[in-house]
């Protein structure tokens, strides 16, 4: 389904502000911010965000396809996005992801780094609020969808917080972690709620769970066989050292993103090629790629490779290049 109404932009500030804010709840943000946190800020913060994000998003995506509440009708609403129009509306997973990521980052860092508590709280609130408002501005959700998504995410954060340290410890030390991290997400993806028509929710869920699975295996391997690569200590020296540190941060980020994107492209092409050969369809056949036996393995393998590369291969490359 596409946009059903033409529109004229009269306020470019709001238009670009909320289009940008909407992108903060999409893959382009996940694939940059979460690895950036791991490479440049703190391993433990990144681990907690990824675990919370994957759990929250799975529950949100499944809830959509169980509740089957429609998105706002157009007209009268003018929709500025097309891809997600085929999905149901309640709850807003953009609102859920924004709330989960911003507040889990705030909670995980407030006792480890020196910054004003009020500033961190305001930053988390502003981030999540902008993403929530973007869903209303773009016409993709009702107010109830957005409030429901934010509240569900907040409740899940409250429920998960007491178990953060226990979950983190098990994921780093349990010998069953790699098997659990791969098998459970795969079972959940293959048993995703069935719909009467195709929706991208199953594919998006597989992408999220695959990335989290690959990253979790990487966390476990790093803890078992490698020393902690980044200490996450704050810089206390003068401007020359701060400038040098920023250059290393940027270098780690751009090298890492290049490797991650290259991994995604290579693995996706290889897996689609093998599945196309197995099930006799051309790689460019979008309908064939939406079939369960194709969509789940190609997206899971692709994004688990991305998660593993970001947490294992990229840090090794950073060390090899002297970017530690």
43 catalytically annotated: no
What separation in angstroms does the CA of 309 have from each of 45, 197, 240? Answer: 18, 34, 32
Specify whether the CB–CB gap between 30 and 94 falls below 8 A.
Answer: no
Query: Which tokens sit at 191?
Result: 């048993």
Specify whether the CB–CB gap between 318 and 232 falls below 8 A.
Answer: no
Is 60 exposed, middle or buried, given 0-12, 13-18 or 19+ CB atoms closer than 10 A? buried
Look at the block and give the residue holding tokens 């703190």: 42
For helices 292-308 and 201-225, give the axis angle rounded to 10 degrees: 30
**What per-residue string of b and e applies to 31-50 under the rule 16 or more CB within 10 Å gives b?**
beebbbbbbbbbbbbbbbbb
Catalytic one of 43, 94, 169, 318: 94
What separation in angstroms does the CA of 219 have from each of 8, 82, 180, 213, 240? Answer: 48, 36, 13, 10, 33
Residue 120 to residue 105: CA distance in whole angstroms: 9
If you ran DSSP here, which 8-state letter would residue 227 be given? -
Catalytic one of 43, 141, 169, 318: 141
141 catalytically annotated: yes
Q: Which residues does the annotation mark as catalytic?
A: 94, 141
């Amino acid at each position: 389904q596409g946009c059903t109404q033409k529109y004229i932009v009269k306020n470019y500030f709001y238009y670009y502000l909320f289009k940008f804010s909407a992108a903060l709840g999409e893959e382009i943000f996940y694939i940059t911010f979460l690895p950036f946190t791991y490479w440049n800020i703190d391993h433990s913060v990144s681990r907690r965000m990824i675990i919370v994000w994957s759990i929250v998003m799975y529950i949100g995506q499944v809830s959509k396809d169980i509740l089957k509440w429609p998105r706002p009708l157009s007209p009268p609403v003018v929709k500025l996005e097309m891809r997600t129009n085929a999905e149901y509306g309640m709850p807003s997973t953009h609102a859920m992801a924004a709330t989960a990521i911003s507040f889990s980052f705030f909670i995980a860092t407030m006792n480890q780094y020196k910054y004003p508590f009020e500033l961190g709280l305001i930053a988390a609130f502003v981030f999540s609020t902008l993403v929530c408002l973007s869903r209303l501005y773009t016409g993709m959700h009702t107010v109830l969808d957005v409030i429901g998504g934010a509240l569900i995410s907040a409740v899940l954060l409250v429920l998960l917080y007491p178990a953060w340290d226990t979950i983190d410890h098990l994921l780093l030390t349990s010998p069953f972690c790699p098997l659990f991290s791969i098998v459970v997400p795969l079972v959940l993806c293959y048993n995703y709620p069935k719909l009467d028509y195709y929706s991208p929710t199953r594919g998006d869920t597989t992408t999220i769970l695959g990335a989290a699975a690959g990253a979790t295996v990487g966390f476990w391997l790093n803890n078992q066989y490698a020393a902690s690569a980044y200490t996450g200590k704050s810089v206390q020296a003068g401007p020359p050292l701060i400038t040098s540190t920023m250059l290393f941060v940027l270098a780690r980020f751009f090298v890492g993103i290049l490797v991650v994107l290259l991994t995604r492209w290579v693995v996706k092409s290889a897996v689609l090629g093998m599945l196309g050969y197995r099930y006799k369809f051309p790689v460019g056949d979008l309908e064939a790629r939406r079939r369960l036996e194709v969509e789940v393995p190609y997206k899971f393998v692709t994004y688990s490779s991305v998660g593993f590369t970001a947490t294992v291969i990229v840090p090794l490359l950073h060390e090899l290049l002297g970017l530690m």
